[in-house]
RNA sequence: GGCGGUGUAGCUCAGGUGGUUAGAGCGACGGUCUCAUAAUCCGUAGGUCGUUGGUUCGAGUCCAACCGCCGCCA
């Protein structure tokens, strides 16, 4: 019986276009899925988009679009990118699809019929932004997720009896220590569950963009219950044809980011238990991909898209970099510099060059046919060493990669590459190539066979990671279609003598100095366009790219003032003043005058460092609406990046007085 | 504030159960070969192993306190 393997990515929220963070998760899953297929497993790889919730509704409205139109666009952007990257997913689920909605409602009914859903009422604080009920006292208390002031609400909701599952969940974590990886996430979940679980509100009635609660159209199902269900609805759960569900569920692996551990490790198993459905076998949480040590964010303007990398270096380069550079499970750092360095050192100089030199010599000395020694005496200890290293590498690599230690696995694979390069230098096949005697020819044949066979083995092993280049090396080795490779049977000596090489060409041409600039330039060019495309972000849209990246684009010339000091209306229009609300304020260490603020512009939260500490205590500012210069170029103060400026009156010799409003104004409103 | 984690060469990290001169990769520098994508290969780099105490014949490796960073929770 063939084994089955069902693997999922999270479904991506369509409030933003795909970037390399999304690509990272999906690449990791694609690698695992490809490997499982090569190992002969009947593999099913699912990804998709999460399209419900108040954020999406809001984004669509502000773009003047119907929600459905909006989500169609963004969802297709994800699929377009995945196609370009040759990601081999088997299905793409959208939460707005009928098949999904039907399945979610079915799951709801099942949980309800089992007695785990009840109608209750909630009065307290609610964060509209995060759709989150907040356990806090006092009107306007800040949301623990985003820091925005919460609203006091009284509403009827459906609740899930999460509190009844503490014991069962703890039993699950104990009996299956590998249910949650890595260990540190497991510890978090354990302490969360041990501290006691409260029932979970699983419906919302304040907006409509969601899946209606069965038999009560006034409510929509909580986005997380909606979203998590995708893992089974995509398999046909709740439909007439649930063959795939029967076949593939439970999932072998849910791959997720560390920010959604709780939903996957606590809520999801509890929902499934309540519905009497089998639980997934494992959940693996990876870390975040940072850009040069910083979190990628819209306000920083440092989100890296995958497109420029694909255009310049190709998808293999990105795949290899992400899996090799980042210790899986931990946060990792992306930079163009590191990408190019890895590319040149490992792919071009390492594997690419090994293929090139080996194949060229076989071409030159043996007319392009894999040679084999005619004399047993031509064999030397160095050859056997390579065989031993190769066999050990096959074993070690597969152990590591099957534990999702991609970085160490690739390091291990490359140790074979290095060993073969060294072997070639030490055995000097080019010297033997000048000799015509039979012994020299035999020795030369041994060396080149050994090199080519080692190359074949590395190529086969890492195919799941760098599929395109390895397919080409495979063809150059004269081995045809790499897809037919049975990885499980991979071992030394399978390369047949006489195999005719294909045409040889470099697979990883070296990247020159201009490479980084080219990618960077593409990113910069893309940003203004994206700002326009992402209509959900009026603040970003209005913000010229020049303001975000002062080094990349020349700054506009200073506003031309007339001799009497007057400016034109156009000059004033360059200053983008907007209403924002302070959600967090704290003193900057070591600075008497500075406060670090986080302000909400309605569409984004950004950090501003303001020199008002002598005039205001931080805690008095929280919740206050202020005026912000939104398109001011970022600047570092005391090591903190300030993205804008708070407008205040500055009397001579007196303390600053913040600008405010007598009437209430919506966040993000522009002053003009 | 509670719980958990973490701090080792310029960078990224290895260093079960304490034991001779603390390791690897990359980068940098010097050298070599020439089959190869100016690639390969060889050599060099002397890091208070966060700080301070303690246990021990002996601690990067155990304990305590402190400092820094991170995560989860409140």
Query: Is the whole model's pTM more than 0.95, yes or no?
Result: no
Its ipTM equals: 0.91
pLDDT of residue A569: 59
Q: Average the pLDDT over A646-655 and give the result.
A: 66
Q: Which nucleotide is nearest to A348 (CA to C1')?
A: B37
Residue A435, number of CB atoms within 10 A of its CB:
12
Res. A536 pLDDT band, cuts 50 70 90: very low
Res. A623 pLDDT band, cuts 50 70 90: confident
Distance of CA A312 to the CA centre of its chain: 20
Q: Average the pLDDT over A291-303 and give the result.
A: 70
Sheet with strand A289-291: strands edge to edge: A294-295, A289-291, A332-334
Q: Which of residues 584-643 of A touch strand B (CB under 7 A)?
A: none
Q: Average the pLDDT over A548-560 and give the result.
A: 22
Q: Where are the domains of chain A?
A: 333-489, 545-671
Res. A297 pLDDT band, cuts 50 70 90: low
**Which among A194-208, A403-417, A458-472, A550-564 has the top mean pLDDT?**
A458-472
Q: Virtual CA dihedral for A478, A481, A487, A489, nearest 10 degrees? A: -60
Please, are residues A489 and A332 in contact by the beta-carbon 8 Å criterion?
no
pLDDT surpassing 80 at residue A293: no
Please, are residues A17 and A305 in contact by the beta-carbon 8 Å criterion?
yes
Res. A666 pLDDT band, cuts 50 70 90: low
pLDDT surpassing 90 at residue A130: no
For residue A64 the two structure tokens come to 């003047």
**Which among A231-235, A431-435, A643-647 has the top mean pLDDT?**
A231-235
Residue in this structure with the two tokens 């009928």, named with its chain if needed: A98
- A33-37, A148-152, A524-528, A602-606: segment of lowest average pLDDT: A524-528
Pick the CATH number of A333-489 from 3.30.1300.10, 1.10.510.10, 1.10.730.10, 3.40.50.300: 1.10.730.10
Q: Tell me the pairing of strands A117-127 and A42-50.
A: unpaired
Helix (H) / strand (E) element for A309: namely: helix A307-312
Instruction: Let me know if A231 is exposed, middle or buried by CB neighbors in 10 A (0-12, 13-18, 19+).
Output: buried
**CA A307 to CA A291: how far, in whole Å?**
16
Protein A477 CA to nucleic acid B38 C1', in Å? 26
Taking the alpha carbons of A50, A52, A53, A58 in that order, is the dihedral positive or negative?
Answer: positive
Residue in this structure with the two tokens 């570092």, named with its chain if needed: A636
Protein A435 CA to nucleic acid B6 C1', in Å? 59
Q: Which nucleotide is nearest to A188 (CA to C1')?
A: B72
Q: Average the pLDDT over A300-307 and give the result.
A: 79
Q: Average the pLDDT over A628-654 and give the result.
A: 71
Please, are residues A542 and A576 in contact by the beta-carbon 8 Å criterion?
yes
Q: Calculate what percentage of chain A has a pLDDT beyond 70.
A: 86
Q: Average the pLDDT over A601-619 and give the result.
A: 75
Please, are residues A111 and A222 in contact by the beta-carbon 8 Å criterion?
no
Chain B nucleotides with an atom closer than 7 Å to a protein C-beta: 2-5, 12-14, 26-27, 33-42, 71-74
Q: Average the pLDDT over A382-396 and give the result.
A: 92
**CA A574 to CA A241: how far, in whole Å?**
59
**CA A231 to CA A51: how far, in whole Å?**
15
Phi, psi of A272 (to 5 degrees): -65, -40
pLDDT of residue A560: 28
Phi, psi of A176 (to 5 degrees): -125, 80
Among A180, A207, A197, smallest CA distance to A279 is for A180
**CA A292 to CA A644: how far, in whole Å?**
22
Q: Is the CB of A262 under 7 A from strand B?
A: yes
Residue range A545-671 forms a domain whose CATH class is: mainly beta
Which are the contacts of A317, defined by CB distance < 8 A and separation ≥ 6?
A309, A339, A343, A347, A508
**CA A415 to CA A421: how far, in whole Å?**
10
Distance of CA A544 to the CA centre of its chain: 27
């Amino acid at each position: 019986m063939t084994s089955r393997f069902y693997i999922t990515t999270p479904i991506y929220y369509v409030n933003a276009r795909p970037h390399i963070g999304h690509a990272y998760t999906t690449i990791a899953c694609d690698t695992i899925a490809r490997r499982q297929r090569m190992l002969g497993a009947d593999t099913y790889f699912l990804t998709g988009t999460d399209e419900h919730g108040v954020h999406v509704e809001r984004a669509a409205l502000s773009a003047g679009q119907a929600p459905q139109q909006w989500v169609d666009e963004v969802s297709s952007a994800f699929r377009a990118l995945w196609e370009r990257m040759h990601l081999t997913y088997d299905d793409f689920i959208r939460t707005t699809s009928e098949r999904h909605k039907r399945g979610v409602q079915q799951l709801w009914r099942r949980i309800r019929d089992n007695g785990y859903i009840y109608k209750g009422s909630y009065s307290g604080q609610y964060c509209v932004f995060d759709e989150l009920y907040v356990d806090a006292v006092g009107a306007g208390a800040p949301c623990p997720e985003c820091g925005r002031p919460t609203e006091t609400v009284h509403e009827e909701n459906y609740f899930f009896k999460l509190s009844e599952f503490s014991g069962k969940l703890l039993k699950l974590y104990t009996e299956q220590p590998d249910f949650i990886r890595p260990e540190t996430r497991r510890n978090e979940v354990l302490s969360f569950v041990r501290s006691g679980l409260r029932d979970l509100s699983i419906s919302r009635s304040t907006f409509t963009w969601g899946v209606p609660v069965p038999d009560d159209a006034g409510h929509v199902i909580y986005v997380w219950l909606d979203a998590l269900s995708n893992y089974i609805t995509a398999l046909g759960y709740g439909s007439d044809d649930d063959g795939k569900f029967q076949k593939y569920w439970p999932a072998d692996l849910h791959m997720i980011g560390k920010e959604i551990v709780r939903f996957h490790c606590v809520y999801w198993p509890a929902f499934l238990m309540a519905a009497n459905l089998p639980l997934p076998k494992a959940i693996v949480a990876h870390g975040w991909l940072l850009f040069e040590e910083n979190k990628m964010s819209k306000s920083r303007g440092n989100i890296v898209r995958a497109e420029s990398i694909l255009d310049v270096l190709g998808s293999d380069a990105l795949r290899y970099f992400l899996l090799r550079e980042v210790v899986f499970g931990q946060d990792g750092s992306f930079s163009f510099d590191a990408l190019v360095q890895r590319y040149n050192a490992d792919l071009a100089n390492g594997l690419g060059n090994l293929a090139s030199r080996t194949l060229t010599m076989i071409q030159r000395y043996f007319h392009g046919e894999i040679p084999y020694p005619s004399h047993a005496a031509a064999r030397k200890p160095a050859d056997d060493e390579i065989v031993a290293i190769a066999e050990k590498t096959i074993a070690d690599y597969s152990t590591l990669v099957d534990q999702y230690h991609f970085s160490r696995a690739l390091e291990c694979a490359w140790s074979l590459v290095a060993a073969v390069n060294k072997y070639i230098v030490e055995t000097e096949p080019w010297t033997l190539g000048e000799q015509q005697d039979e012994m020299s020819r035999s020795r030369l044949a041994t060396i080149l066979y050994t090199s080519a066979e080692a190359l074949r083995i590395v190529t086969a092993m890492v195919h799941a990671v760098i599929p395109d280049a390895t397919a080409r090396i495979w063809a150059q080795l004269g081995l045809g279609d790499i897809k037919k490779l049975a990885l499980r049977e991979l071992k030394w000596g399978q390369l047949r003598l006489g195999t005719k090489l294909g045409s040889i060409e470099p697979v990883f041409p070296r990247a020159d100095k201009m490479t980084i600039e080219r990618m960077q330039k593409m990113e910069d060019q893309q940003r203004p366009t994206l700002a326009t495309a992402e209509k959900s972000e009026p603040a970003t849209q209005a913000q010229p790219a020049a303001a975000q990246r002062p080094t990349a684009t020349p700054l506009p010339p200073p506003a031309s003032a007339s001799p009497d000091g007057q400016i034109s209306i156009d000059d004033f229009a360059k200053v983008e003043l907007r209403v924002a609300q302070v959600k967090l304020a704290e003193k900057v260490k070591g600075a008497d005058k500075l406060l670090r603020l986080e302000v909400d512009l309605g569409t984004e939260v950004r950090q501003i460092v303001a020199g008002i500490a002598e005039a205001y205590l931080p805690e008095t500012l929280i919740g206050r609406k202020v005026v912000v210069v939104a398109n001011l170029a970022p600047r570092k103060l005391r090591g903190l990046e300030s993205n804008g400026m708070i407008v205040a009156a500055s009397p001579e010799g007196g303390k600053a007085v913040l600008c405010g409003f007598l009437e209430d104004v919506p966040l993000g409103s522009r002053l003009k």
